[in-house]
A and B are shown apart, each in its own frame.
Chain A
Amino acid sequence: MKRARIKEKIYQGIFTVLAFASLVFLVGIVIVLFKEGLPIFKRVSISQFLFGQNWYPTYSTPEFGILPLILASVWVTLGAVIVCVPLGVGSALYLHELAGHKQRTILKPLVELLASIPSVVYGFFGMVILTPFLQNLFHLPTGLTALNASLILGIMATPTVCSLADDALSYVPKSFREASFAVGANRWQTLTQVVIPAAGSGISTAIILGMSRAIGETMTVLMVSGGAAVIPHSYLEPVRPMTAAIAAEMGEAPMGGDHYHALFAIALVLFLTTFVFNIVAEFISRRFRIKLGLSG
């Protein structure tokens, strides 16, 4: 009897310890990014790094200003949002409010399938299909542009936004809709004036997490954004977002050198950005659930 109890304790202990793995890895990532990223600030100041306009890491007098990279990420992500928000939220509304049970059981798995396509395949598709198409359409010297990256990223983020928005819609109590129908509103009015406002913060969580996905996406932007580290002026020019810079340059950066540390510092900026996005999304979704009377 006593042995059984000891055995129970041992198992519980094992599970408790292993449960902290995620926390350990997350903290590990933070430590590594700080440890390998901070040394660059002995060379340049934080403001020079964040707001410097020249990214020439391999010149004989290198310059480490990542403003062009940050702006490229912002541009590409905003472009992606313009694509993925209407498509994702619209698809979720269609799936949840209009599609019948049978249609839903076919369409929803297809949207999930879109989410499972590897990013490198999206990038490849962008390079071989979208690039020549955009080049001819706008008569550009190259089709590898911010627009191209935005379109592909937008499509990639659409399933994320769609399934999270779908979840948010399913939390809206049936009684809300019934009350609206009872006072004579039609389905569209119910949708736009009752359901969407009720699910609003849930839908904004979906959008934030979609954006977070787009900012951190690497392979696609590496393949289709064109790679020019200049401050973007138009969507029809090549750009180099932060993720693309890290992925493209880490292979050549000498280990322990300034360039190496600068790339880790970019990763730190990237990590902190997505971290803030995730915390905000978590905060909003918790308030959303409390508002609708669900457990937090």
Chain B
Amino acid sequence: MKNHITQKLGFLGLFLCISITLLFLGAIIFFITARGIKVISWEFLTQVPRSGMTAGGIAPAIVGTFYITLGAILFALPLGLACAIYLCEYSPKGIVVNIIRISINNLAGVPSVVFGLFGLAVFVKYFKFGVSILSGSLTLGILVLPLIISSTQEALLAVPQSIREASLSLGATKWKTIKNIVLPTALPGILTGVILSIGRVAGETAPILFTAAAFYTRGFPKSAFSEVMALPYHIYALMTEGAHPDKQRAIAYGCSLVLLLMVLCISGIAIFIRQRQKGLHG
């Protein structure tokens, strides 16, 4: 009988743990939506900021985030794909693979602000790209590389060995097998990883603090070498800089809601697809 009660209490404890965790998800979404929704309008999404960041919209920040994210993915995707293909399809097992694997794991664990410093020293200063979309994209690309590699690897490993062998036995070369059989089969999994990476990059702030972001720019970015406003940085800046904290706070709520919705939708799609794939393949 005593065992039975302990079990009941224990299970209740575990249930409380997951409830509290999900309660926070609910609370964050609820509070930001409830107060942010009042600020959001068509004008808010499509206009440039006016009157010292207290009026107007956040369109340049949305556009800036789009450019930076696009650049980061364009940089990281080919590298990540190549690395995953090498590790899954070509690599002879051994010390080389272990070194690459360990460096991927460690790159994934580097604090985001350290990427920011690296970007500052290398892209902004050494290559003289300045504080720009290009510097920010490259920095974020390096940050997201491990994520792209590991999700691509997972997708490639899910491709059954038998269809590779079937292709090879028909006389196709290794590269032809990869190009025509393995990659198309793994494509949905790879895309899921890319979508997830987009969600991650779009919300990162610390790496672009010193490499790309500006609190205010006149209008929209003109080239890859201009500094940009970005949504996540804009939230931070609105809360810590400027002369009108109260008015800025309202706009920050709007920005947070836009960013939150964007990231939750993007990641939600990826998580949903991934789960369905797992369901299909057992």
Contacts and interface: CB of A to CB of B under 8 A. Distances in A.
Interface of A: 4, 7-8, 11-12, 14-16, 18-23, 25-26, 28-29, 32-33, 35-36, 86-91, 93-95, 97-98, 105, 107-114, 116-125, 127-129, 155, 158-159, 162, 186-189, 191-192, 209, 212, 215-219, 222-223, 243, 246-247, 250-251, 255, 263-264, 267, 270-271, 274-275, 277-279, 282
B47 interface: no
B114 A270 contact: yes
Contacts of A91: 14, 17-18, 21
B210 A107 contact: no
Contacts of A277: 109
Contacts of A22: 83, 100, 103-104, 107, 145-146, 149
29 contacts: A12-B90, A21-B82, A22-B103, A22-B145, A25-B142, A26-B107, A29-B114, A86-B17, A87-B21, A90-B13, A90-B17, A107-B22, A114-B21, A116-B271, A117-B25, A118-B202, A118-B203, A118-B260, A119-B205, A121-B260, A124-B235, A125-B32, A129-B27, A186-B3, A188-B3, A216-B110, A216-B113, A218-B111, A264-B117
B218 interface: no
B7 interface: yes
B263 A116 contact: yes
Contacts of A98: 11, 14-15
B263 to A, nearest CB: 6
Interface stretch (B66-74, B119-127, B219-227): B119-127
B106 A26 contact: yes
B86 A117 contact: no
Nearest to A212: B109
A233 B203 CA distance: 33
Across the A-B interface, the 8 shortest Cβ-Cβ residue pairs: A118-B203, A90-B17, A216-B111, A18-B82, A116-B267, A188-B7, A19-B86, A218-B206
B164 interface: no
Interface string B252-280: 11001001100110011001100100010
A117 B87 contact: no
Given A98-B11, A114-B25, A255-B125, A267 B109 contact: no
Given A15-B85, A209-B109, A121 B90 contact: no
Contact of A188 (B11, B103, B106, B256): B11
Contacts of A274: 109-111
User: Which has the most chain B C-beta neighbours within 10 Å: A22, A107, A113?
Assistant: A22
User: Which has the most chain B C-beta neighbours within 10 Å: A89, A122, A189, A271?
Assistant: A271
Contacts of B11: 98, 188
Contact of A119 (B7, B203, B239): B203
B216 to A, nearest CB: 15
Nearest to A99: B18
B175 A155 contact: no
A147 to B, nearest CB: 16
A18 B175 CA distance: 16
Contacts of A279: 106
A280 to B, nearest CB: 11
A223 B6 CA distance: 42
Contacts of B267: 112-113, 116
Nearest to A268: B114
Contacts of B103: 22-23, 26
Given A120-B235, A264-B117, A223 B240 contact: yes
Given A15-B85, A216-B109, A271-B111, A246 B117 contact: yes
A19 B107 CA distance: 14
B163 to A, nearest CB: 19
Nearest to B121: A32
A21 B118 CA distance: 15
A267 B87 contact: no
A72 B14 CA distance: 31
A19 B17 contact: no
B233 to A, nearest CB: 8
Contact of B17 (A7, A87, A219): A87
B100 to A, nearest CB: 6
Given A113-B267, A216-B111, A120 B232 contact: yes
B17 A94 contact: yes
B24 interface: yes
Contacts of A267: 111, 113-114, 117
A109 B236 contact: no
B25 A19 contact: no
Interface in B17-35: 17-18, 20-22, 24-25, 27-28, 31-32
A49 B249 CA distance: 38
Given A25-B142, A121-B235, A95 B18 contact: yes
A295 B74 CA distance: 35
B145 A21 contact: yes
A285 to B, nearest CB: 10
B170 interface: no
Given A246-B113, A278-B109, 16 more contacts: A11-B175, A12-B174, A12-B175, A18-B82, A22-B104, A33-B114, A109-B272, A109-B275, A111-B22, A117-B28, A118-B204, A118-B232, A121-B28, A125-B31, A186-B3, A191-B10
